[in-house]
Amino acid sequence: MNPIPISAEQSPLLFLELLYKLRVRDVMARDLVTIRRDATMRELQRLMQARRVSGVPVVENGRLFGIVSIEDLLQALDAQRMDEPVANFMAANVVTIEDDMPLAIAISYFNKYEYRRFPVLDARGEAVGIVTARSINTRLLVELFKELARIENQYVLPLSENASCSFQTFRVARSDFENAGSAATEIKNVLQKRGLDPKLIRRVAIAAYELEMNLVVHSDGGTLTFRADEGEVQLIAKDQGPGIADVELALQEGWTTANDWVKSLGFGAGMGLPNAKRVSDEFHIASELGKGTTVTVRDVLPPRPLQNPPV
């Protein structure tokens, strides 16, 4: 069977998925060029010339104090103040980016603040890199070609509906909070068109939403497959993410591995998997560290009444 070609409609979605899949740590320059506050502007000039950079974070013992740019250097040259310390010229109020932040959010910073570069901090608040528009573009091109090559050998089935069966696979991107829940909404609409019991539809919609959000928050992205026939509704969430170290612990209400940034958005409360299990007739989870997780839920449909019951 020949691979399915990438359509014009799919290409923007693929690019958008990469923006949420990649983290700042994936694109930042890790070979961080830094300078101390007490270094002179003349030392800064030599450093910039040697390392071919136009901006240098001011860092001491991992702590970020500011940043100096080529514009600051030109100011010192014009004022003949090259022997003064960097601290006299650095910008102290620095906008930083977290290394775990989705690339899509980082890109918005370039538009919002109109800076050319941003220092990157880790969870401990230490400077670990710097991100520029060039580093982002370079990594995006590499990942885009890799993703296109992968998709050429992958099939995502469109919605298939007939009198007895509905089937669809949705691709879910990591940290795509803007589109999170769209798959669950589509599944709910399909079940409503089939005329199923509203209580059953609500249970399936809850499970679909929780599984979809689990892919967005905790995995590197994956697929949510939905199938409904005359006997059951089945949902399969599959990812190639980090895996779950302790499945039993993950099924406890309130337990979560979501970071503070995700929690600040109102997600990652630790109720996703427990909720999905609660509304399912059957629930199964299989996970392997470093390889991914597959969650399968199943709800049994009540038998349809006979149109002409025996007298």
How long a stretch of residues is the chain? 311
Nearest partner of 217 among 267, 183, 285, judged by Cα: 267
| pLDDT in the model for residue 269 | 58
| pLDDT in the model for residue 64 | 93
Q: From CA 87, how far away is CA 160, in angstroms rounded? A: 65
Q: What is the chain's pLDDT, residue by residue, as a tens digit (311 residues)? A: 333 344 434 455 566 667 777 889 988 888 889 999 999 999 999 999 998 888 899 999 989 999 999 999 999 999 999 999 999 999 998 899 999 888 888 888 888 887 888 999 998 889 999 988 888 888 887 777 666 655 544 444 444 444 466 788 888 887 777 777 888 888 888 888 888 888 888 889 888 888 888 888 888 878 899 988 878 889 999 988 788 887 787 777 766 665 565 555 555 555 678 888 888 889 999 888 888 899 999 988 766 554 555 54
Domains (ranges, CATH) in the chain? 10-139 (3.10.580.10), 160-300 (3.30.565.10)
From first CA to last CA, the distance across the chain in angstroms is: 52
Q: From CA 209, how far away is CA 201, in angstroms rounded? A: 12
| pLDDT in the model for residue 258 | 58
Q: From CA 257, how far away is CA 263, in angstroms rounded? A: 10
Nearest partner of 128 among 36, 30, 55, judged by Cα: 30
Q: From CA 152, how far away is CA 213, in angstroms rounded? A: 26
100 backbone φψ class: left, alpha, beta (φ>0; ψ -120 to 50): alpha
